[in-house]
Chain A
Amino acid sequence: MASVRVQAADFDIGAETRALTGGRADIGAIGSFLGTVRDIAGGRRITAMTLEHYPGMTERSMARIAAEAEGRWPLLGCTLIHRIGRLLPGENIVLVLAASPHRHAALEAAGFLIDWLKTAAPFWKMEEFADGGTGWVEARDTDGAAAARWGTFPGA
């Protein structure tokens, strides 16, 4: 079963991996993606990033994305954690873990999960710049293209 969480608090990749495997020995492979706050965007220094989301729809979207991954690959579990609120450069933003008996499924599922998460879960990033001012991050065509490799989320 997938574990899907939206939280302000930080997470620990080691603890999350142990929670996912839970002492079972049939897994064999865990694909992971950890996203962190970069301190530069478009040549401008960033001092903080604030993540806004749509409570309710966010959790529904993430659960649907996880269910889709579980339908496509032989997963023995997966974890999706996305942080919200104000984060500083270097802090964790998002964690994806996908467990499977073999590496190809684990790595592909992790890639799918983060690609769809970036394009189909209702989160928005606002950056604070060192030279003053703030700006909302614009969606990138490259993210849409990456997600589209896996097909499209309903309606997104």
Chain B
Amino acid sequence: MGRGSIKILYFAWLRERVGVSEEDVDLPEGIGTVGALQDWLRGRSPRHAAGLVTGMTIRCAVNQEFAGPDEAVRPGDEVAFFPPVTGG
């Protein structure tokens, strides 16, 4: 059983590959960091695996602040995955 839900957001080509812009997931036991969450999400579907690719630079934000793979994630958090930004 999970510990409570977190909101996951996807942007740009990650959103296109995963096929949804956001989803609520039940955070499983043992998933406590951005990196672990990304690995776990990759196993949810082939589309998730295609979006949350390994070996390419994917950026993350936890509660709208940039976050590295070691950043903690907790139930109630908003976690976003996206490519390097290209505005301006």
**Chain A residues in contact with chain B, CB under 8 A?**
35, 51-54, 56-57, 60, 82, 93-94, 114, 117-126, 136-139, 143, 153-156
Contacts of A56 in B (CB 8 A): 64
Indicate if the CB atoms of B12 and A136 lie closer than 8 Å: yes
In chain B, what residue has the closest Cβ to A57?
Answer: B64
Q: Answer whether A118 and B13 are a contact pair too, CB < 8 Å, given A60-B64, A154-B65, A154-B66.
A: no
Our pick among B12, B57, B85, B87 for the contact of A94 (Cβ within 8 Å) is B87
Residue numbers in A under 8 Å from B87 (CB-CB)? 51, 53, 82, 94, 117-118, 121-125
- A selection of 19 A-B contacts at a CB cut-off of 8 Å is A52-B12, A54-B9, A54-B11, A54-B61, A54-B64, A54-B82, A57-B64, A57-B65, A60-B64, A117-B87, A119-B85, A120-B85, A121-B88, A122-B11, A122-B80, A124-B87, A136-B12, A136-B86, A138-B86
B13: A residues at CB distance < 8 A: 136
Within 8 A of A (CB), among B23-42: none
Complex interface: chain A residues within 8 A of B84 (CB): 138-139
A114: chain B residues within 8 A (beta carbon): 88
B75 proximity list for chain A (CB < 8 A): none
- Taking CB atoms, residues of chain B closer than 8 Å to A154 are 65-66
Q: How far is the CB of A66 from chain B (nearest CB, A)?
A: 14
Determine which of B12, B65, B85 lies in contact with A121 in the assembled complex, contact meaning CB atoms within 8 Å: B85
Q: Which of B57, B67, B85 contacts A122 (CB 8 A)?
A: B85
Q: Does B68 reach chain A (CB closer than 8 Å)? A: yes
Q: Which residue of chain B has the shortest Cβ distance to A122 in the bound complex? A: B85
